[in-house]
Amino acid sequence: MNQRPARRPAPRPPEGTPAPAELARMARSGLAGAARVAHWADTALGPGSDGATADGKATLSEASAERAAGDLGLTVAQIRADWDTARLAGLVEVHGDSARPGWRLRAWDRDDSAVLRGWVALFDAWSLAHPEPPEFEAAAVAEVVSAMPQVLSFLQLSAGPVPVEQLLDLLRQRVTELRTERCEVPYGTETGSGSAVPVAALPAARTDPADRAPAEDPAPAEDAELAPLLDWALHALASVGALTYGAGQATLTPLGNWAVWVKLEQICVAAQSPAGNIEVAAEEMLRGCAQLRPNAARAEYRAWLAARPVGSAVAELVAAARGEDALLRGLAFEALRVVGAPAEPDVRAVVDEPTLRPYALLWLAEHDGIDPEDAHEVLTREEATWLWVDTAAAVADHGEAPLLVRHLESALQPTVPALLDEVRAVGHPRTVQVLVALAAAHPDPALAKAVRRAAFQVHTGG
């Protein structure tokens, strides 16, 4: 009964993968130009600087690009390329026609995880970093972009150079599967009855492309379509440092190998969701976690987060926190703790919202290294009282009466009259409901009467 279940050991990267510090050094080297332009823009174009525009917006206009080229000794084309890379890596955050330094730029020299997250963001955006030639059809490009994760997984499992012919074979197979899922019939054969049986409908082999015999019909038209697209994709991935490409072969770099492994691990984590909330919206997922123990809930948060982009996941969680359910508000910030540093800009953005301010301040304090036991000290007395009422509302809506009575003991105020005075003053919209529920739950008749009186005074504006 007292034995704890053994924890699942953290997965280890493939043998030969460099240490995180070495991977971060590689990423810093590959993104040095982007970081340099981002730092220049922060200094030269930021609000309050000599180069700030009249409206205070740090935009990279034509004049700014020419100035940066002169200051940094680069061409305007290089400046714009590095600027685009900085945007994709999160070193610069663009909002409409204005830009500001990203949190990764602030942590660039001291936080290896921030550097690696920035490089992975660029890796995820490889098709934007190296746009396709205009002669390619958009639909064909979209198919290849959708199929490339399987090609990258094969490169990662191969752990060495792979001939482009094998990658083309694998790409053809994956594109055929994608077309089959959409019920498209690009090619077909005739059966004895004269009905067409699409090649795409035949079971796709799951073996190594190197082990499969050449097809009788290599579909030259499809090869002619896919070969240049594969060439573009491999060049694009090489441009972000994910692989090397030449002499008819492609090989993942250490950074690319590590990034693909991380993606595969995330898929495995998502597949192990204990409560099956991966595909639902944030609010529904949080409701599903309400009855779980803390460790089980965190595992569910991790699985849910692994199944979607970080930016959209954080936005969903913040939106759920803005709702009327106080329980979901607290759980949303617990999930944001699992997100970690990437959620910092969004959490800072809601500090001025009264409903979310106490939660955001506690999150930021813990993120800055303050012990969770001491984090409450960053709150003012009014903020702490507001949080007490909000938590009491969650208990009143979803908990049992004894829990609400025990919650009374967690108040900062030394006496119940002092608590009631300060609760009335903070103006929480659920104050009346909380006090009524507390009065109904408390076993002391005199105290319950005082709480009911306070609830009536709040209700009538007294």
Query: CA angle, corner 123, sides to 58 and 318, nearest 5?
Result: 60
Strand partners, 163: 249
Average pLDDT over residues 310-327: 91
Residue predicted with more confidence, 99 or 293: 293
Strand partners, 245: 250
- Chain-wide mean pLDDT for the chain? 79
End-to-end CA distance of the chain: 53
Q: Starting at the edge strand that comes first in sequence, how are the strands of the sheet with 249-252 ordered?
A: 162-163, 249-252, 243-246
Q: Which of 265, 277, 327, 266 is nearest to 301 (CA)?
A: 277
Residue predicted with more confidence, 460 or 391: 391
Contact (Cβ atoms closer than 8 angstroms) between residue 243 and residue 250: yes
Contact (Cβ atoms closer than 8 angstroms) between residue 424 and residue 393: no
What's the pLDDT tens digit per position in 61-107?
788 889 989 999 999 999 999 998 998 888 887 665 667 787 788 88
Q: What is the C-alpha to C-alpha distance for residues 303 and 5, in angstroms, rounded to an integer? A: 20
Q: Which of 262, 248, 267, 151 is nearest to 209 (CA)?
A: 151
Task: Report the predicted TM-score, pTM, of the whole model to 2 decimal places.
Answer: 0.56
Strand partners, 390: none
**DSSP letter (8 states) at residue 11:** P
Half-sphere exposure of 377 (CA within 13 A, CB side): 7
Residue predicted with more confidence, 269 or 327: 327
Could you tell me the CA-to-CA distances from 366 to 7, 40, 100, 362, 378 in Å, in that order? 24, 31, 25, 6, 10
Residue listed under structure tokens 């739950």: 441
What's the pLDDT tens digit per position in 408-436?
777 777 777 788 888 888 788 888 888 88
